[in-house]
Structure formats: C-alpha cells, structure tokens
Amino acid sequence: MALHKKTVRLIRDWRFWEGVDTSDEAMHLLFISISYVRIQEESLLVTADTPSDGWQEALAYLQERPLKSILKASIELEMVWISLHAILEELLAQSSTTSVDVAAAHIKRASLQSRFLLWEERYLSLIYSTKNIHPLGAAALSVRRILTRICFEMRLEPFEHVGDETRWDPFDREFNSAWCVIEEALTAGTSYNADAPARFGPSLRISLQFIVRFCRKQDIRHAAAALLRSEIPKSLSSEPPTGPLLVESIMALEEGHWDSCCQVPKCRQGEFICNWHRVAKVNAISMDKLRYHEFQCLTVGDIVNGEPGTNFRLISVLWT
C-alpha cells in the first residue's frame, strides 16, 4: 500500500492524471503502480491497509476524464475494488460489531457503489463503441465486474466474535458466471491468446483464486481450483506459487468434516459446508522470500472457541 500512497502523491503533486492518456507507456506505468501491490496481497490473502482520503480523491478525479481504453477501465475498477475491500475488511476484522458499525460500513459502501455504477456506465459505452478490444482484457474486466457486484450486494450484519461465512452462498450463480468467463478466456486456443497482454493474466488468476476461496459450491470450486492449478505460470523457480497452494489447503480443511460435523445445519459431503467449519481468517505467520511460508487458518469454530486454528507450512514461491 506504500506504493499506492506514493502513486496518489505523484498524481496530486505532478498532476499525473492529466497525462495518463498521453501514451500507452504512461497508462501501463500507472496500471502497474496501482495493481502490483494488490495482486501480491490478494495472492496471499493478506489484508491491505486502508487507502487514504487522497486515494478517493484520485478515483473521483480520474472518473472525470473520458474512458478511452480497456487499460484505463481496469485502473478505475481496480481502485474501486481496493476501496471496497478496505471497507469490508475493516468491518470483518473486528472481534464484534454493532448495528452502528454495520450502518457506517453500509454508508461507505453505498457511496463507493455510486462510483462503481458510474464506471459501469462508462465501461459499457466503451465496449459498444470500440472495435478490436482484446478478449483477454475484456474477460478480466467482465470477471472483476461480477465479483465486485457480489461484494457490493453481500449482506452485512452485526456479529459476535466473527462474521457469518454463509453470506457468500446466495451468489453461487454469479460465481459460476465468473468462472465460466475465466475458463473460456484461459483455455481458448492459442490464436485467442496470441500476443495477449501479460498484464491481464494475473488479474484473471487472482479472480479465479477469489472464487476458490469464497465460493463453497463444490463443483464450481473444484473446477476453478483445477483451472487455477493448470494455469500456474512458469518461472525460474521449481516451486509452485504460494497462492494456489494456500487456497487449496483452505478448501481441503473446510471439506474435511463431512463425517464428523455435529452442527445444525451440518456439513453434507459434496453439497454444503456449515458455517462452523468455514475458514474466516487467514494470518501470515512467516513469509520467507525464498520458499518456506507459514499461514494460520482460523475457522468460525476456532474463533468462537478461542482455538489456535490450523497452520499450513508451504514450500513455494510467493508470486510468479
């Protein structure tokens, strides 16, 4: 997030927003500045710092300018996504919340949603009026648009100890739609992906990982996990990236209580994971820059009972 703050300062002090449309190079640089840190954070399920007020000012200023490219549309939506998750994570990270806390989060989210709806209107206009939009970039935006809508519509309620993880369940159809778009984009023939901008690949993989993490409908989740595994990019390291291993570990942990669950409603193999056995929080215990990383995963039951949760030690690279 320090990089985000530097970017906002650059924009404010040097009026960098006025030059973002001057060249593809300038636009690409801005996209990297905004998205790179968040890609790393999301790949490791790490909670980001809350963006400053200057971040919101920058988003408002950017939306005053014409939307002329997929890349600029990606920048705007990425900023909405970052701000939205800061609101949700700030609320859900608390040990308990009241109706006042939830109302405050609702107000913040509703204010940001107006920015999202403005982006959506301008994006659709761009799609309808522009020829030769690269399909991979369009797919990345389509998926992120679906996932952003989920996070705007997801119910927020007061809670004791930990929020209700079943809040994701009403969106199985939306998760399936997002996965289908990713599957088509990443598994299409080589002619479809020829000369595909590398900048959109990480966004698609992070969206895929988001589905594996929060969608508990087994067929969607397992299909998304399999595709994520097959799309692990090649790197100089012989070890796999941490993110896919981490979400698969979480998936296995949540699905490991089919026969022992005593909750009501209880876990049903292949059909349902009860709220008690869903992972609600992930903490990074240690992240070696080379290959050994440890994460603590706490289920709803762990948090309510004050138990230490489950630690996963992964031999992997942080990101490729």
pLDDT digits 0-9 by tens, 115-133 = 999 999 999 999 888 887 7
Q: Is residue 245 part of a domain?
A: yes
Report the domain count for the chain: 2
Residue 15, phi-psi category: left (phi > 0), alpha (psi -120 to 50), beta (remainder): left
Where does a domain end: 175, 210, 231? 231
Distance CA 289, CA 257 (A): 33
Q: Per-residue confidence at 182, pLDDT binned at 50, 70, 90?
A: confident
Where does a domain end: 211, 231, 251? 231
Amino acid (1-letter code) at residue 250: I
Judged against a pLDDT cut of 90, whether residue 268 lies above it is answered with yes
* Residue 264, domain extent: 237-320
Q: Is residue 30 part of a domain?
A: no
Q: Per-residue confidence at 195, pLDDT binned at 50, 70, 90?
A: very low
Q: Is residue 19 part of a domain?
A: no
184 neighbors 20 (Cβ within 8 angstroms): no
Judged against a pLDDT cut of 50, whether residue 286 lies above it is answered with yes
Where does a domain end: 199, 214, 231? 231
**CA dist list (Å): 205 to 69, 127, 167, 253, 262:** 21, 23, 23, 22, 35
Q: Is residue 58 part of a domain?
A: no
Q: Is residue 60 part of a domain?
A: no
Q: What are phi and psi of 13, to 5 degrees?
A: -80, -35
For residues 217 and 83, membership in a common domain is answered with yes
Q: Is residue 249 part of a domain?
A: yes
pLDDT at 33: 62
For residues 161 and 244, membership in a common domain is answered with no
Distance CA 318, CA 48 (A): 16
Distance CA 26, CA 17 (A): 10
For residues 137 and 273, membership in a common domain is answered with no
Residue 84 burial (CB < 10 Å; 0-12/13-18/19+)?
buried
For residues 215 and 107, membership in a common domain is answered with yes
Q: Quick check: bond before 240 cis, omega within 30?
A: no
Q: Is residue 304 part of a domain?
A: yes
Alpha-helical (H) ranges within the chain are 2-14, 24-43, 53-62, 70-92, 99-129, 135-153, 172-187, 190-193, 200-214, 218-230, 242-254, 300-305
For residues 223 and 93, membership in a common domain is answered with yes
For residues 151 and 249, membership in a common domain is answered with no
pLDDT at 317: 67
